[in-house]
Amino acid sequence: TRGPLVLGIESSCDETGIGIVRGTTLLANEVASSMDLHVRFGGVVPEIASRAHLEAMLPSLRRACDTAGVKLTDVDAIAVTVGPGLAGALMVGVAAAKALSVALDKPLYGVNHLAAHVAVDILDHGPLPEPTMGLLVSGGHTNLLYVPDIATDVRSLGNTIDDACGEAFDKVARVLGLPYPGGPNIDKAAQGGDSKAIAFPRGLSTKKDLEKHRYDFSFSGLKTSVTRWVATREAAGEPVPVADVAASFQEAVVDIITKKAVMACRDYECNNLMVGGGVSANSRLRALLEERCGKAGIAIRVPKLSLCTDNGAMVATLGAHLVAKGIEPSALDVPADSSMPI
Ligand code: KG4
Ligand code: ZN
């Protein structure tokens, strides 16, 4: 195959990712996660994540080169996530990428993590239609991105104003006594439940909400509502119908996500929806997306799960695309930017 050989480095949160692509062909995708180290703290600890990146970086780099059957000196360009993410974590990847760029005398491309999540689908389903609507749903993001051109024009339409949707799945799972990670376990528990059993609230969905937060999301009210509902039951000494609560909660989340995604596509006359992030694995989200996008004439693209979660291949893919489009590389002093806008 042809195209530039690009190395991608991802270190924005708790995954150290090294990806290698040749053009639009994936050669290696090494991911080392420090998630186990954070579990007992109930969330990602920035300092621990940074140290774990430092320890995983070079071994991962070596493994990726071995898997791809390439030498570092063969690489045509280096791409790295410069933001958004945890400042210290980002800095480890950015420093590594800069060192490689200098040592190999190859161009450096600093890329946006969210844009890379969208770009990765090129590996699975070919060139992105223009425009594409990106829906990113994970433990860290809930975003709607309007993408007229993945190389030069990626616009943020909406974001969560509190918890990410995956976070809501994980927190509600804990309330229901389901093991970590909560998302897949709620998905499973919900299969035997009635999604109409309990009417949980849909965040930011009233007419007034839609004026100010048309494409934004909110899940903390929903989480509180589920917690209260369960506590009331327990206080009354009644059994908690776990399957029904799981199904009703899940329905509230995916109902609002799919509604807003379709609304954004309609508003922007965009007939292509790309879905990324770990929550894209949710079976009810997939079913409802198919139903509602089908009705609206919107085509859906979801990359395979290993490309949906944080990884280096997505960074390499966007980097290779920028090289192919003749985009100028970044300056060697490009900073890590934890609150990078899109
Ligand atoms: O992208 P990802 O692997 O990493 C982070 O964002 O950190 O996403 C992980 C999130 C977790 O919150 C997990 O509970 C959720 O994705 N998740 C799911 C499902 N599979 C994973 N949520 C709902 N249903 C699923 N089947
Ligand atoms: Zn991510």
Q: What is the pLDDT of residues 241-268, one digit of tens each?
A: 999 999 999 999 999 999 999 999 999 9
Pocket test for ligand 1, best of 113, 279, 311 (most atoms within 8 A of CB): 279
CB burial class (10 A; 0-12, 13-18, 19+) of residue 315?
A: buried
Question: Per-residue pLDDT tens for 208-242?
Answer: 999 999 999 999 999 999 999 999 999 999 999 99
Domain identity same for 295 and 317:
no
Rounded to whole angstroms, the Cα distance separating 200 from 99 reads 51
Domain identity same for 286 and 146:
yes
14 CA → ligand 2 middle, Å: 10
Domain count, the chain: 2
Residue 339 lies in a domain: no
Ligand 1 atom nearest to 284, measured from its CA: 24
Domain identity same for 161 and 282:
yes
The residues facing 104 across adjacent strands are none
CA neighbor of 136 nearest in space, from 314, 324, 336 = 314
276 CA → ligand 2 middle, Å: 9
Residue 283 lies in a domain: yes
Residue 85 lies in a domain: yes
Domain identity same for 83 and 178:
no
2 CA → ligand 1 middle, Å: 34
Sheet holding 142-149, edge to edge: 153-158, 142-149, 132-137, 272-276, 299-301
Domain identity same for 256 and 177:
yes
Quote the percentage of the chain above a pLDDT of 70: 100
Report the pocket of ligand 1 as residue ranges, CB < 6 Å. Answer: 13, 138-140, 166, 169-170, 181-184, 187, 277-279, 281-282, 309-310
Residue 9 lies in a domain: yes
- Is residue 200 predicted with pLDDT exceeding 90? yes
140 CA → ligand 2 middle, Å: 6
Rounded to whole angstroms, the Cα distance separating 230 from 233 reads 5
Residue 59 sits in a domain of what CATH number? 3.30.420.40
Domain identity same for 201 and 92:
no
- Is residue 317 predicted with pLDDT exceeding 90? yes
Question: Per-residue pLDDT tens for 267-279?
Answer: 999 999 999 999 9
Ordered DSSP codes for 72-139: GGG--EEEEEEESS-HHHHHHHHHHHHHHHHHHT--EEEEEHHHHHHHTHHHHH-SPPSSEEEEEESS
Rounded to whole angstroms, the Cα distance separating 315 from 216 reads 25
Rounded to whole angstroms, the Cα distance separating 166 from 142 reads 8
Rounded to whole angstroms, the Cα distance separating 213 from 206 reads 10
Q: What's residue 159's pLDDT?
A: 97
Known binding residues for substrate are: 136-140, 170, 183, 187, 282
- Is residue 1 predicted with pLDDT exceeding 70? no
Ligand 1 atom nearest to 167, measured from its CA: 12
Q: Are 65 and 312 in contact (CB under 8 A)?
A: no
166 CA → ligand 1 middle, Å: 5
Q: What's residue 64's pLDDT?
A: 98
Ligand 1 atom nearest to 164, measured from its CA: 12
Q: Are 7 and 104 in contact (CB under 8 A)?
A: no
pTM of the model: 0.96
CA neighbor of 312 nearest in space, from 61, 5, 46 = 61
Total number of residues shown for the chain: 342
Residues 6+ apart with CB under 8 A from 145: 114, 115, 118, 133, 134, 135, 136, 154, 155, 156, 157, 342
Residue 287 lies in a domain: yes
Pocket test for ligand 1, best of 16, 138, 165, 286 (most atoms within 8 A of CB): 138
Kindly identify the ligand whose nearest atom is closest to the C-alpha of 184: 1
Q: Which domain holds residue 161?
A: 132-303
Domain identity same for 316 and 297:
no
Residue 286 lies in a domain: yes
Domain identity same for 237 and 112:
no
Domain identity same for 97 and 198:
no
Pocket test for ligand 1, best of 34, 169, 172, 178 (most atoms within 8 A of CB): 169
Q: What's residue 231's pLDDT?
A: 97
Nearest CA to ligand 1 atom 7: 139
This model of the complex carries an ipTM of 0.98
Nearest CA to ligand 1 atom 6: 139
Domain identity same for 90 and 137:
no
Nearest CA to ligand 1 atom 10: 139
- Residue 341 pLDDT grade (very low, low, confident, very high; cuts 50, 70, 90): confident
Domain identity same for 292 and 315:
no
305 CA → ligand 2 middle, Å: 12
Quote the percentage of the chain above a pLDDT of 90: 96
Residues 6+ apart with CB under 8 A from 36: none
Rounded to whole angstroms, the Cα distance separating 317 from 151 reads 11
Known binding residues for Fe cation are: 113, 117, 310
Question: Per-residue pLDDT tens for 59-116?
Answer: 999 999 999 999 999 999 999 999 999 999 999 999 999 999 999 999 999 999 999 9
30 CA → ligand 1 middle, Å: 19
Residue 331 lies in a domain: no
Domain identity same for 146 and 251:
yes
Ligand 1 atom nearest to 170, measured from its CA: 14
Ordered DSSP codes for 136-156: EESSS-EEEEEEEETTTEEEE
pLDDT, average across residues 141-148: 97
Residue 22 lies in a domain: yes
Q: What's residue 296's pLDDT?
A: 98
Tokens of 329: 């590389």
CA angle 130, 321, 122 (to 5 degrees): 60
